[in-house]
Amino acid sequence: MADLYEQERELEDFFQAARDTVPVPSAALLARVLGDAAAQQPAPVAAPRRGIWRRLSGAVGGWPALAGLATATLAGVWIGYAAPGAVGDLAISAWPGGGVAYDVVDLIPSMDGYLAEDGA
């Protein structure tokens, strides 16, 4: 029994000696490991170029500015397509040398043409 205890104590001394000494890797090993790690890293990739719409949107002010421009464009098309005749007359009178200036009464649409009777 004493012999078994003695063997365990000697074995524990070896383990304690192994715990006390910290293994330090050699400089050559560290250089090889770092070289292998650098070889495995992917090459840096250039950032993709932004598209024309992204650059235009950024130059104008982003999506809120583009939404305002789209709204103004649609309103202009709508007014241009469905404009009453008086708007054209107003534009002519406002333009310098654009012709006869109209009175305000002429710019207001009236129902006189609809109320006139045929043949009267």
Q: Per-residue pLDDT tens for 45-93?
A: 888 888 888 888 888 888 899 899 999 999 988 887 776 666 666 666 6
> What ranges in the chain are assigned the alpha helix state H?
2-20, 27-40, 52-60, 63-81, 85-94, 104-107, 112-115
| For residue 105, pLDDT beyond 60 | no
Place of tokens 């043949």: 119
Q: Which two tokens stand for residue 34?
A: 């770092």
Question: Interior CA angle at 61 toward 59 and 70, to 5°?
Answer: 100
Tell me the C-alpha distance between 120 and 116, whole Å: 8
Using pLDDT thresholds of 50, 70 and 90, give the confidence band for residue 44.
confident
Residue type, 95: W
Q: Could you tell me the pTM of the whole model?
A: 0.33
In the predicted model, what is the mean pLDDT of the chain? 79
